A and B are shown apart, each in its own frame.
Chain A
Amino acid sequence: MVGITSYGAYIPIYRLSRADISKSWGGPALHGEKAVANFDEDSITLSVAAARDCMNGIDPKTIDSLYFASTSSPYKEKQAAATISAVLDMKSEIFSMDISQSLRAGTNAIAAAMDSINSNSAKNALVCAADIRLGLPNGPRELAYGDGAAAFTLGSENIIATIDGRYSISDEIIDVWRSDKDTYLRSWEDRFIKEKGYNKIVFEAVSGALKKYNLGPKHFSKAVFYSPDSRAVGSVARKLGFDTKTQVQDIMYDTVGNTGAALAPMLLVGALEEAKPGDRLLLASYGDGCDVFILTVTPEIENIQAKNKRGIKVHLKSKKMLTSYEKYLRWRDIISVEPAPRPPLQVPSAVALWRDRKGGLALYGSKCKNCGLPQYPAQRICIKCQAKDEFEDYCFANRKAILFTFSHDNLAPAIDPPVTLCVVNFDGGGRIQCDMTDREIKEVKVDMPVEMTFRKIRYVGGIYDYWWKCMPPRE
């Protein structure tokens, strides 16, 4: 038996009102808002955030295979899953894989993870799905797309939802796409892509799955459908015989937007947060075909629901409105602005990054076995007692912390000035100097609680450099 053993999700804290976008172009005030990843986030950092939410309490060394699913991986050639496994401090003898280039990547990854467990090549698998997709300014895709991520662990023990059935269709169509030379998504004419794409394929796949497993709409508590926009899901679900008011998971169009390959997995997290033991769930994605899954919720769900997870629910509630559309354009590098009159950013050394993979990515420092003081970065001679080579590894990533002091820096070069420079003191000792992200200037106070978050700190010379920042806790 195979199933989901834990879930997690991540929605960036910033939201952009669709009215702010449409009014900027002289249009009517549209309703709803979309979730917008901060300038220091990408699909890797979103995945890490969702995975940390999912892994809360799970030993990362128990994971045997890792799948990263996204259409917006930061690199065209270089595996994101390898980075994520280093950040999450997984063992090195795992199978890691990126699944990309299709909107269906999220459910493709769930299928691959299932197969790894069913074939006994893995006991536990982690799936992360994240997307940050770009539509051209003043277009329908810019309005529709939001950013987000979901993560699941799969295994054969302590299952919260068994995966009882799977059915897929592969379909060749050019409906929504992006070539290797494109920055922005393209789309063919709307009526064609609905009629011959989404509506047709999702209907065929779900009908096929129901027929294969001899089930009907009435056997499901909730059906989770990917939907390209606010309306598409309704017509397909109705045609299949589901009650759109009670049986279909809300697609969060007005609150988050279409999160691409992460949407169906995020909606499944939302459904699991509300599920009761015995509920049967349907999951259907879309993109170059359709993957359909049939799941049954077990009594174990209650243990996971009781955990301190942010999931969809807390992340949805915890939000800050972006003050302007221009800020979004700046964050996505869609408009060029006057650069700070400062020397150019330096290119990190691949060698130094390699040496720092444990300290920089998994946020390990060291703790002196002689005097007990934790230190970051890892030291060989203790700053407090000068004992030599008397250290043990010490991970700071999940420790509670306070803001010891700070400054809002208007001079440092920044995509979103001012930079909030921080000195963070960890509970149990240890200190790090880092930027604060996802913060309002007003809320920053000496001694406030903060937590660590994994972020992109620069892109120079073709290298994405990742490290950690602090942020006010999301609650």
Chain B
Amino acid sequence: MESIKDKVAIIGMGCTKFGENWDMDSKDMVIEAAYEAYEDAGIDPKDIQAAWMGTYMSGYTGAMIAEPLKLMYKPVTRVENMCATGSEALRNASYAVAAGVYDVVLAIGFEKLKDNGYSGLPDSEVVAEWFMGKPDTYRLPTFSTPAQFALMANRYFAKYGIDPEEGRELLAKIAVKNHHNGTLSPKAHFQREITIEQALKAPMVAYPLGLYDCCGVSDGAAAAIVTRADMASSFRDDPIYIKSLEIAQGPREGALNSEWGYTNMEETYRAGIAAYKEAGITNQRKEISIAEVHDCFSITEMTIYEDLQFSPRGKAKEDIEAGSFALDGELPINTDGGLKCFGHPLGASGLRMMYEVYKQLQEKAGPRQVKNPSLGLSHNIGGVPGSGVCSLIIAGN
């Protein structure tokens, strides 16, 4: 079994401003992201030989990009993996290039969430049904997505003997960190500092998660141009090479197996192990320079520290308190504000994470640039604890 390591490279990326893009529909956002990527790669739109398009709930078929971008009768594949859709577009595009079928392809993800008037995600219960195990009966608990992740928080606190109030303060520190990073990201949805006190006093969404424990619901699009590694340097001096592309699909074990503990996401742990192996990483905490992780909720980020083996099990608390993952910390995580502040247009998020990794590795991240980066990681999940999917991509310069 061969690995994807150093077979493909990213030579151009684009990302719209994330947020409440009242002035743009999904077509406008697709055009902005794609054309920024074309320009960054120095290619003509006609150079694109095939495309992979990801959206969770903002349309169907490749027509959603073929029409706005006028990709004239080219092969377009639509992929969907809930909130991990963007990474899936990049993963499939990369494999097609690695297979030698295409030389230059587009991977693009987008989502238009703020046109529907709901608070939270506008996904209907139909979606929830599919990952709750009894389709079309609606014999499922009543819940919002935050509550599904809050289940992990309450069990985590109980297991490690953390008083819930202390636990909420730890989570608030993650939100404060990501809000700070968001102020340094011009394209982020939220760009303002918050205090721990503000986070703790915010309205409760799903106990113990308050408003600032939850990521933004945003509109946005992000795109990448992928080519063969041996062609990459003909496009630019600083291409970014794919070191691993992993995905772990959970079998709903958390929901079915009463022995599963609800204090982590097994999908993340498994994908991490596979990705480190593929990339040849033995000390992830030291070797990885920057990580973009799927902080849909503060507790998700806290448990990711442990699942990706940056912190030992049960010890995320110590790293949060030490600021290990702050911009000036040992391993900066979510340098662009993460889902929390950059925002979360579901199908675009995986590619937005890679956009930050790409800019950081090229040392073009402006005021939030980390020092001497060599490897960046993007971690993108779909679903909920106990019933999820995790995409992990490691890239290097």
Partners in one complex: yes
The residue from A341, A411, A413 contacting B205, defined by CB atoms under 8 A apart = A411
Interface hit among A224-232, A236-244, A373-381: A373-381
Distance to closest chain B CB from A296 (angstroms) = 45
Q: Knowing A359-B134, A375-B257, A384-B259 touch, does A343 contact B122 (C-beta < 8 A)?
A: yes
Q: Give chain A residues whose Cβ lies under 8 Å from the Cβ of B209.
A: 407
Task: Answer yes or no: B117 CB below 8 A from chain A CBs.
Answer: yes
The residue from A346, A374, A407, A411 contacting B125, defined by CB atoms under 8 A apart = A346
Task: Answer yes or no: B198 CB below 8 A from chain A CBs.
Answer: no
Task: Answer yes or no: A177 CB below 8 A from chain B CBs.
Answer: no
A431-B255 in contact (CB<8A) = yes
B147-A412 in contact (CB<8A) = yes
Q: Knowing A408-B206, A409-B206, A447-B158 touch, does A353 contact B137 (C-beta < 8 A)?
A: yes
Q: Knowing A409-B143, A411-B120 touch, does A383 contact B137 (C-beta < 8 A)?
A: no
Q: Knowing A353-B137, A383-B256 touch, does A410 contact B154 (C-beta < 8 A)?
A: no
User: Can you name the residue of chain B whose Cβ is closest to the Cβ of A40?
Assistant: B142
Q: Knowing A383-B251, A405-B154 touch, does A412 contact B134 (C-beta < 8 A)?
A: no
Q: Knowing A373-B257, A446-B155 touch, does A418 contact B207 (C-beta < 8 A)?
A: yes
Task: Answer yes or no: A414 CB below 8 A from chain B CBs.
Answer: yes
A12 to B34, CA, bound (A): 60
Task: Answer yes or no: B118 CB below 8 A from chain A CBs.
Answer: yes
Q: How large, as a class, is the contact surface on chain A? A: 35 or more
B253-A435 in contact (CB<8A) = no
B135-A345 in contact (CB<8A) = no
A419-B125 in contact (CB<8A) = no
Distance to closest chain B CB from A79 (angstroms) = 20
Q: Knowing A356-B134, A383-B256, A383-B257 touch, does A411 contact B146 (C-beta < 8 A)?
A: yes
Q: Give chain A residues whose Cβ lies under 8 Å from the Cβ of B258.
A: 373-374, 404, 425-426, 429-431
Q: How large, as a class, is the contact surface on chain B? A: 35 or more
A102 to B126, CA, bound (A): 40
Task: Answer yes or no: B58 CB below 8 A from chain A CBs.
Answer: no
Q: Knowing A343-B123, A405-B154 touch, does A433 contact B255 (C-beta < 8 A)?
A: yes
A377-B134 in contact (CB<8A) = yes
CB contact list, A3-44 vs B, under 8 A: none
Task: Answer yes or no: B367 CB below 8 A from chain A CBs.
Answer: no
B150-A409 in contact (CB<8A) = yes
Q: Give chain B residues whose Cβ lies under 8 Å from the Cβ of A465.
A: 137-139
CB contact list, A446-471 vs B, under 8 A: 446-447, 457-458, 460, 465, 467
B256-A352 in contact (CB<8A) = no
Task: Answer yes or no: A306 CB below 8 A from chain B CBs.
Answer: no
Task: Answer yes or no: B124 CB below 8 A from chain A CBs.
Answer: yes
Task: Answer yes or no: B204 CB below 8 A from chain A CBs.
Answer: yes
Q: Give chain B residues whose Cβ lies under 8 Å from the Cβ of A467.
A: 137, 139-140
User: Can you name the residue of chain B whose Cβ is closest to the Cβ of A349?
Assistant: B136
User: Can you name the residue of chain B whose Cβ is closest to the Cβ of A414?
Assistant: B142
B256-A406 in contact (CB<8A) = no
Q: Knowing A409-B150, A411-B206, A446-B154 touch, does A435 contact B256 (C-beta < 8 A)?
A: no
Task: Answer yes or no: A304 CB below 8 A from chain B CBs.
Answer: no
Q: Give chain B residues whose Cβ lies under 8 Å from the Cβ of A342.
A: 118-120, 144
A223 to B130, CA, bound (A): 55
B137-A407 in contact (CB<8A) = no
User: Can you name the residue of chain A whose Cβ is closest to the Cβ of B204?
Assistant: A410
User: Can you name the residue of chain B whose Cβ is closest to the Cβ of A411?
Assistant: B144
Task: Answer yes or no: B132 CB below 8 A from chain A CBs.
Answer: yes
Q: Give chain B residues whose Cβ lies under 8 Å from the Cβ of A446.
A: 154-155, 157-158
The residue from B126, B132, B142, B150 contacting A346, defined by CB atoms under 8 A apart = B126
Distance to closest chain B CB from A379 (angstroms) = 7
A356 to B262, CA, bound (A): 27
Q: Knowing A413-B142, A446-B154 touch, does A405 contact B262 (C-beta < 8 A)?
A: yes
User: Can you name the residue of chain A whose Cβ is closest to the Cβ of B144?
Assistant: A411
CB contact list, B52-80 vs A, under 8 A: none
A348-B142 in contact (CB<8A) = no
Task: Answer yes or no: B41 CB below 8 A from chain A CBs.
Answer: no
Q: Knowing A384-B257, A431-B256, A446-B158 touch, does A421 contact B141 (C-beta < 8 A)?
A: yes
Task: Answer yes or no: A422 CB below 8 A from chain B CBs.
Answer: yes
A457 to B256, CA, bound (A): 21
CB contact list, B221-239 vs A, under 8 A: none
Q: Give chain B residues whose Cβ lies under 8 Å from the Cβ of A472.
A: none
Interface centre among A404, A407, A426 (most CB of B within 10 A): A407
Q: Knowing A341-B118, A359-B134 touch, does A421 contact B142 (C-beta < 8 A)?
A: yes
User: Can you name the residue of chain B whose Cβ is closest to the Cβ of A383?
Assistant: B256
CB contact list, B139-173 vs A, under 8 A: 139-144, 146-148, 150-155, 157-158
Task: Answer yes or no: B133 CB below 8 A from chain A CBs.
Answer: yes
Task: Answer yes or no: A146 CB below 8 A from chain B CBs.
Answer: no
A67 to B257, CA, bound (A): 38
A356-B205 in contact (CB<8A) = no
Q: Knowing A346-B138, A446-B158 touch, does A419 contact B147 (C-beta < 8 A)?
A: yes
Task: Answer yes or no: A337 CB below 8 A from chain B CBs.
Answer: no
Distance to closest chain B CB from A363 (angstroms) = 10
Q: Give chain A residues whose Cβ lies under 8 Å from the Cβ of B253.
A: 383
Q: Give chain A residues whose Cβ lies under 8 Å from the Cβ of B158.
A: 405, 446-447
User: Can you name the residue of chain B whose Cβ is closest to the Cβ of A430?
Assistant: B258
A342 to B157, CA, bound (A): 30
Q: Give chain A residues whose Cβ lies under 8 Å from the Cβ of B120.
A: 342, 411
Q: Knowing A348-B136, A353-B137 touch, does A435 contact B142 (C-beta < 8 A)?
A: yes
The residue from B118, B125, B137, B147 contacting A360, defined by CB atoms under 8 A apart = B137
Distance to closest chain A CB from B370 (angstroms) = 35
CB contact list, A425-447 vs B, under 8 A: 425-426, 429-431, 433-435, 446-447
Q: Give chain B residues whose Cβ lies under 8 Å from the Cβ of A322.
A: none
Task: Answer yes or no: A97 CB below 8 A from chain B CBs.
Answer: no
Q: Knowing A379-B256, A429-B258, A465-B138 touch, does A411 contact B147 (C-beta < 8 A)?
A: yes
B147-A349 in contact (CB<8A) = no
Distance to closest chain A CB from B316 (angstroms) = 17
Q: Give chain A residues whose Cβ lies under 8 Å from the Cβ of B252.
A: 383
A1 to B256, CA, bound (A): 49
Q: Knowing A423-B262, A425-B258 touch, does A409 contact B146 (C-beta < 8 A)?
A: yes
Distance to closest chain B CB from A415 (angstroms) = 10
Distance to closest chain A CB from B137 (angstroms) = 5
A419 to B148, CA, bound (A): 12
A65 to B139, CA, bound (A): 28
- Interface 0/1 of B354-374, CB less than 8 Å to A: 000000000000000000000
Q: Give chain B residues whose Cβ lies under 8 Å from the Cβ of A429.
A: 258-259
A346 to B59, CA, bound (A): 20
User: Can you name the residue of chain B whose Cβ is closest to the Cβ of A379?
Assistant: B256
- Interface 0/1 of A310-343, CB less than 8 Å to B: 0000000000000000000000000000000111
User: Can you name the residue of chain B whose Cβ is closest to the Cβ of A423?
Assistant: B151
A343-B144 in contact (CB<8A) = no
Distance to closest chain A CB from B118 (angstroms) = 5
13 A-B residue contacts at CB 8 Å? A342-B120, A349-B136, A351-B136, A360-B134, A360-B137, A405-B262, A407-B150, A407-B151, A412-B144, A414-B142, A429-B258, A446-B157, A446-B158
Please name 8 further chain A to chain B contacts, defined as beta carbons within 8 Å, in addition to the given A343-B123, A409-B150, A412-B206, sorted by A numbering. A407-B148, A407-B206, A408-B204, A410-B206, A412-B144, A418-B206, A421-B148, A446-B155
Q: Which residues of B contact A (CB under 8 A)?
A: 117-120, 122-126, 129, 132-144, 146-148, 150-155, 157-158, 203-209, 251-253, 255-259, 262, 386
8 tightest Cβ-Cβ pairs between the two chains A and B: A407-B150, A352-B136, A409-B147, A411-B144, A405-B155, A431-B258, A349-B136, A467-B139
